[in-house]
Structure 1
């Protein structure tokens, strides 16, 4: 019974693989296209190139441009730190 079930499973799994049909291999020559197919591909390529040319050129974007300042950072003058006085007599 197990052998019959295994054979049925293998047969059922082979159906979708067979339905894919013939896949062209590496060594097979490409089929010649009809003049109508060649013309439609040429027209599609021209339309694609026209659509690419209609896209305006973008300037380089600077995501940190709003945060970064135009002038170089100034050196901050350091002032001596004031001593902290404590009310209790215990030093830290």
Structure 2
């Protein structure tokens, strides 16, 4: 078992960095501004749904639905090839 653990514990920093980059791009491009704001307050700032609701002037159950929808969008984007979906766009 320890041999398996050592073999599987290789450096995965490249994959982690790619995932971070894809999540950042997906947050910027695939979720709505309202979903992004709720998710950043919830996950980034550590606020609870009641606090977010007070800040945004909405019910905490609405905050919960917004976050769940944003999570589903992120999951779908990352699952179905975020590298292709979120490729840098040609400005010209």
| TM-score, normalising length: structure 2 | 0.28
| TM-score, normalising length: structure 1 | 0.28
Instruction: Say which one has the larger Rg.
Output: 1
Query: Which has the larger share of helix?
Result: 2
